[in-house]
Structure 1
Amino acid sequence: MNSHVPAGDFRIPRDLWALIPVKRFALAKRRLAPQLSPPERAALAKAMLRHVLGVLAGCRGLAGILIVTSDPEAMALARAFGAHVLPDAVESGTNAAVRAGMAALDRAGKGGVIVVPGDVPGITRAEMDAVVDALASAPVVLVPATRDGGTNLLAACPPALMAPSFGPSSFARHLETAQAAGREPCVLHLPGLGHDIDVSADLAALPAALSPVLLRARPGAARPLPSPLEEPLSL
């Protein structure tokens, strides 16, 4: 890992990967328990992951997608989109999963990583293109969450440039970590990526245009798998 090159010498990597940490669907979104039953919460998590994978699969500038999970359904869904799967044998939380994914990409010599949560139903290809474009002039890109001071996207080149610290108030921590490493982050305020679904207020504030994503989470709704990508991804 060469994390000490001058910022002026930085160029966007050709081998840029998306990384998605995915909790077991059965354990997902427990803070939505007052509104949704366990099967509904699991279906919601799966529907949102499907949407995120679909956006990333069509994103220019990405060489591949890696998910870190222990959930067999999430693994199957990811592979249907042509993504690579790193089993999360430890299940020690989001940051541990992200660290494992970053380390795997770094060992494989990948040029950079974009960490994306699986619960951002408003993510668009245009927003991801904006992130990729920002990496042309900054080795770190951050997208803050619209609520709780969290971080909803962290991009870094190389992948192990900085340790992840996701959770409430993590945006300030990531900003400080990047600056301590001599990297001034590019901060993008993106409404789709900024809106994750964790509590009832998030559901209430979701734009009506995104309702199809949530409707697919209804029990019994048809949820066909997409066609795999033509070229299999390898790590």
Structure 2
Amino acid sequence: MTHLCIVIPMKSPSCAKQRLAGCLSASERQQLAVSLYANTLAFFQQHFPQHQVVVISQSCVVLSLAKSYGAHGLREEGKEGLNEALWQACQWVKKAGFTHQVIVPSDISLLDKQEFDLLFAVATQQQVVIAQAKDGGTNALVSSPPDAIGFHYGLHSAAQHAQAAKRQGLSFCQLRLPHLAQDIDQGEDLDRAITQQAEHFLPWCETTRKWPVKERQYA
């Protein structure tokens, strides 16, 4: 599937990971958000270089980092949040001639190539593919054409995206992929992520000195 565009929305790092405020300082949350985002860019650059990556954000720092990984940076113009930003990105993707769009968060802790291979394979058979997060959210959304459905990110968004596809009479599929389902919303989520993929968190852990990675790596 060569006509697929990967869209990554990214908040300004200073506004990211607010739900971790109980266990991380503002500086630590910002550093964590940037670290996860960089890992995401590196993952797609390494494993799926054939696909265009587009990052939409209000942050100049975020857009500059996207460029360093070969991604296209798109400055977010609206003020109405994630769904409006994604619709803006979708219009760019459609105008650029892509037949498929996949939206992926910037902060999935464990990105697995085999899971994305499956996601993309299913997308050749279905117009909408939803990879559900553990809390009922949407951690990947593939649509063909890119604007096949509106975006309903928020509480229980996976079910809302499925309903949107059903209303439009589109073929759709919901996937539960073990790694892609994992968010980092609570301290225990972060602890688990560091244990599972310590090498991706090593620079951040060394900066914060909060997690002894070498001791926990194979716990």
1:20 is matched with 8
TM alignment of 1:4-15, pairs within 5 A: 14-15=2-3
- Match of residue 185, structure 1, among 172, 181, 196: 172
Cα distance in 2 between the residues matched to 1:153 and 1:177: 15
AA aligned opposite 1:53: L
- 1:187-218 deviation per Cα after TM superposition (whole angstroms, max 9, x unaligned): 22112211111233422443612233333324
Cα distance in 2 between the residues matched to 1:154 and 1:216: 30
2:148 is matched with 161
Structure 1 residue 220: Cα displacement: 4.2
Structure 1 residue 93: Cα displacement: 1.5
- Match of residue 33, structure 2, among 35, 45, 54: 45
Cα distance in 2 between the residues matched to 1:62 and 1:94: 26
Structure 1 residue 92: Cα displacement: 2.6
TM alignment of 1:1-235, pairs within 5 A: 14-60=2-48, 62-147=50-135, 149-206=136-193, 208-218=195-205, 220=207
Q: Which runs of 5+ in 1 are unaligned?
A: 1-12, 222-235
Please, what TM-score do these two structures have when normalized by structure 2? 0.88
AA aligned opposite 1:155: V
Secondary structure of 2:14's counterpart equals: helix
Secondary structure of 1:206's counterpart equals: helix
Structure 1 residue 62: Cα displacement: 4.6
Larger displacement relative to structure 2 (151-160 or 70-79)? 70-79
AA aligned opposite 2:178: P
Q: Count residues in correspondence.
A: 208
Q: What is the root-mean-square deviation of aligned Cα atoms in Å?
A: 1.8
AA aligned opposite 2:8: I
Q: Which has the higher relative contact order, 1 or 2, with Cα contacts under 8 A spaced 6 or more apart?
A: 1
Cα distance in 2 between the residues matched to 1:24 and 1:60: 25
AA aligned opposite 2:187: S
Cα distance in 2 between the residues matched to 1:72 and 1:218: 25
AA aligned opposite 1:214: F
- The structure in which a higher percent of residues are helix is 2
Cα distance in 2 between the residues matched to 1:182 and 1:19: 24
8 Å Cα contact 1:16-1:61 kept in structure 2: no
Cα distance in 2 between the residues matched to 1:156 and 1:72: 28
Give the percent of matched residue pairs that are identical in Structure 1 and Structure 2: 28
1:7 is matched with none
2:216 is matched with none
CA 1:177–1:62: 2 relative to 1, 3 Å: farther
Cα distance in 2 between the residues matched to 1:201 and 1:113: 32
Cα distance in 2 between the residues matched to 1:94 and 1:159: 16
Cα distance in 2 between the residues matched to 1:41 and 1:120: 15
